[in-house]
Every structure is written in structure tokens, then in C-alpha cells.
């Protein structure tokens, strides 16, 4: 049995924060670096009454409607996020209830920004391994604005909110999922994250008053080679597993955190920029949601057609990294 991509869906919050807006908030002009290096012109953020489950539900409904699938036909929902609806229970079960997916099991995946590709790899193997899983919804959702310190230039300039969903279906004919690889390096676990609220640093009045670790922070600097060397390496490993070369891949999709990094990685793979696609310029960096969002946008732009091979590669705090190859 193969795991085939049937449809995609996205949700983008209405509220827009431009680079000029952030320059006014921060009291300095951030346009040159954020526009030219990161590639971000503006970002969308959730309304005060919008949560991660809201974003995820909207994107999921769009994917289900595109596939003309009744939510009751879903067998499993896997939701990737590190901005959950609450610490417990899982966000995926909230989305299951809202969709009316009464026959679906659910669980969350938290691999930071590598979460969606990790979930997509996991979902594909559920379908391949067990004939009971015919329709699996994989969602990436990100409401990081709830954890932003808008005075912190390192984070406020990058992050944004959004959600993306992909419906996978079991197929006896279409190959769909071709190969995947997961990697981790836990020595970076203390470099970036939202560190308050768990058992290591429970919420107390003092933690709230200090206001540092209740927000997303870069605690230490990541070396650039984590992505510039890590992405090409894991891509080549997945290509080898799937018995493909770079020439067999129509589109390479990467974590949408830094346009300059994507350009450098494409150069290392000896590929033109036309063989990738980006969304950070209009939607900012949407973390665990950015890969399904860029996939959806590339399909709508006509850059990925049925029968084309696509690589999706993502990395996130932890450090976690994930890569999959699919025939769309």
C-alpha cells in the first residue's frame, strides 16, 4: 500500500504586521536585514480570540473540502505544533472534535519547526504498515504570536502565524511517499524555545513577572552550518534511499525561515532557484506550518503538478530535522 497526497489546505490570519510596523515598534529600521537577508516583507498574526486549534481547523476543512471527503471518513489526525492549544490535552483532539471526525484517532507531534515533515513521514508509514488507515490528515499549525515579545528584535521580526494541512490516502497504484529521514542533535536543546510552563520551569508569579522564558527566545546562537550543511546532507540521504537524483526532483521545499539560507543550499545542490518556492515574503516564518503552506502555494502557482517528485526538508529547535520525498 502507498501513501498518496490527495489534497492540501491552508489558513492565514487576517491581521498583517509589516516591516515598517515593526520598525516603529522597535524604534529602529529593520527593513534592510529582514527584507534582503530573511526575505520577509510582512507577516500575518492571529486575532486575540484565535488559537492554534482555530487555525488548524480552518486549514483542515479546506483540505477535506478539496478532497470531497466527509470528516467521518478520517482514520487518523496527526497535528504538528509547538504552540499547542494547551499543555494537555493534545490540540489534535480539539481539531478532531471540531471537524466531526468521529472515527479518527489523534495525536500531536512536537519537533518544533520540523514537526510537520516528521508527522508526514509518520503518517505515511501508518498507511504503509496497517490497512486500517485509509485516510490520514496531517496538519501543521503555528500561533507563535501568542508567545512573542514584540520588543525582541531577534524573534519579532521573523515569526508569524498560520496553518497547513495535507490529506494522505492509501493507494494500491500511486507511489506517493518515496522515502524519509529523521535526524536530531539534542546538544542544541537549550538554544531556542519557550522554556517556561513545563516541569523544568513551572509557571510561578516570579516567572511571569520576569517575563523572559514565557516568551519564545533565542537563548544561544545557532551556527549557520546547522542548515547550510544539514539540509543538503539529509536531502542527499533521502534521494539515495528513494533511488533518485536531484534531476528527478521537480521542486525542493525548505523551512521558510531565511531566504539567504535557501539560496545557499540550492547553490550547494547545484540547482537554480526556480526549483524551489518561497512564501516567507508574504506570510513570514510560520514554523511547523510553513512546509504544508509552501506546498499548497506551489501547487496553486502551477510549480508542482501530478506525477512530479518533490522534496520537503525542515529543521527546528531541539535540534530536529526531517526530510521526505514524494511523488505528487
Q: Which of 232, 292, 112 is nearest to 184 (CA)?
A: 112
pLDDT band at 98 (very low <50, low <70, confident <90, very high): very high
Q: Which of 77, 74, 99 is nearest to 90 (CA)?
A: 77
Residue 78 and residue 187 share a domain: no
pLDDT at 146: 97
pLDDT at 173: 86
Residue 183 and residue 78 share a domain: no
Residue 281 and residue 214 share a domain: yes
Q: How far is CA 105 from CA 2, 58, 102, 123, 234, in A?
A: 20, 19, 8, 12, 30
Residue 89 and residue 8 share a domain: yes
Q: Which of 141, 94, 174, 177 is nearest to 292 (CA)?
A: 141
Mean pLDDT of 82-95: 97
- Of 132, 159, 175, the last residue of a domain is 175
Task: Dump pLDDT digits (tens) for 2-59.
Answer: 999 999 999 999 999 999 999 999 999 999 999 999 999 999 999 999 999 999 999 9
- Of 175, 210, 234, the last residue of a domain is 175
Mean pLDDT score across all residues of the chain? 96
Q: Do the beta carbons of residue 47 and residue 15 sit within 8 Å? A: yes
Report the percentage of the chain scoring pLDDT > 90: 97
Task: Dump pLDDT digits (tens) for 225-242.
Answer: 999 999 999 999 999 999
Q: Do the beta carbons of residue 218 and residue 155 sit within 8 Å? A: yes
Residue 144 and residue 115 share a domain: yes
pLDDT at 276: 98
* Tally of domains in the chain: 2
* Cβ within 8 Å of residue 156, ≥6 positions away: 22, 25, 26, 148, 149, 150
CATH number where 130 lies = 3.40.47.10
pLDDT band at 136 (very low <50, low <70, confident <90, very high): very high
Element containing residue 290 per DSSP (H, E): helix 290-300
Residue 168 and residue 193 share a domain: no
Cα 267 to Cα 282: distance, rounded to the nearest angstrom: 23
pLDDT reading at 89 higher than 90: yes
Residue 235 and residue 119 share a domain: no
Mean pLDDT of 265-285: 97
β-bridge partners, 109: 80
Residue 188 and residue 148 share a domain: no
pLDDT at 174: 80
Residue 211 and residue 87 share a domain: no
Range of the domain at 278: 178-327
Residue 258 and residue 222 share a domain: yes
User: What sign has the CA pseudo-torsion 113, 289, 91, 323?
Assistant: negative
Cα 73 to Cα 150: distance, rounded to the nearest angstrom: 42
Residue 229 and residue 169 share a domain: no
Cα 130 to Cα 154: distance, rounded to the nearest angstrom: 44
β-bridge partners, 252: 276, 311
Phi and psi torsions of 168, nearest 5°: -100, 140
Mean pLDDT of 256-284: 97
pLDDT at 250: 98
Mean pLDDT of 195-224: 93
pLDDT band at 224 (very low <50, low <70, confident <90, very high): confident
Q: Do the beta carbons of residue 60 and residue 137 sit within 8 Å? A: yes
Residue 255 and residue 168 share a domain: no
- Of 146, 175, 204, the last residue of a domain is 175
Amino acid at each position: 500500500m502507498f501513501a498518496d497526497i490527495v489534497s492540501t489546505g491552508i489558513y492565514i490570519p487576517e491581521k498583517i504586521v509589516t516591516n515598517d510596523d515593526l520598525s516603529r515598534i522597535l524604534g529602529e529600521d529593520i527593513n534592510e536585514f529582514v527584507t534582503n537577508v530573511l526575505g520577509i516583507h510582512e507577516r500575518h498574526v492571529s486575532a486575540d480570540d484565535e488559537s492554534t486549534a482555530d487555525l488548524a481547523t480552518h486549514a483542515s476543512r479546506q483540505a477535506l473540502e478539496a478532497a470531497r471527503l466527509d470528516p467521518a471518513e478520517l482514520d487518523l489526525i496527526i497535528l504538528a505544533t509547538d504552540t499547542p492549544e494547551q499543555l494537555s490535552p493534545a490540540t489534535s483532539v480539539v481539531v478532531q472534535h471540531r471537524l466531526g471526525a468521529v472515527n479518527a484517532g489523534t495525536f500531536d507531534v512536537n519537533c518544533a519547526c520540523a514537526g510537520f515533515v516528521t508527522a508526514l513521514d509518520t503518517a505515511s508509514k501508518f498507511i504503509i504498515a496497517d490497512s486500517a488507515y485509509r485516510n490520514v490528515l496531517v496538519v501543521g499549525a503555528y500561533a507563535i504570536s501568542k508567545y512573542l515579545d514584540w520588543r525582541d528584535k531577534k524573534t519579532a521580526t521573523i515569526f508569524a502565524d498560520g496553518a497547513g494541512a495535507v490529506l494522505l490516502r492509501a493507494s494500491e497504484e500511486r507511489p506517493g511517499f518515496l522515502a524519509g529521514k529523521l535526524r536530531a542533535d539534542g546538544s542544541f536543546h537549550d538554544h531556542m524555545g519557550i522554556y517556561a510552563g513545563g516541569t523544568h520551569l513551572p509557571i510561578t508569579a516570579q516567572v511571569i513577572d520576569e517575563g523572559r522564558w514565557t516568551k519564545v527566545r533565542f537563548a544561544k546562537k545557532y551556527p549557520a552550518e546547522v542548515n547550510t550543511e544539514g539540509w543538503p546532507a539529509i536531502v542527499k540521504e533521502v534521494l539515495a534511499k528513494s533511488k533518485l537524483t536531484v534531476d528527478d526532483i521537480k521542486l525542493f521545499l525548505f523551512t521558510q525561515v531565511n531566504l539567504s539560507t535557501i539560496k545557499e543550499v540550492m547553490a550547494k545542490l547545484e540547482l537554480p532557484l526556480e526549483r524551489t518556492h518561497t512564501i516567507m515574503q508574504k506570510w513570514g516564518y510560520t514554523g511547523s506550518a510553513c512546509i504544508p503552506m509552501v506546498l499548497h502555494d506551489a501547487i496553486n502557482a502551477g510549480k508542482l503538478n501530478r506525477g512530479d517528485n518533490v522534496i520537503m526538508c525542515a529543521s527546528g529547535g531541539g535540534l530536529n530535522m526531517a526530510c521526505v520525498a514524494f511523488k505528487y
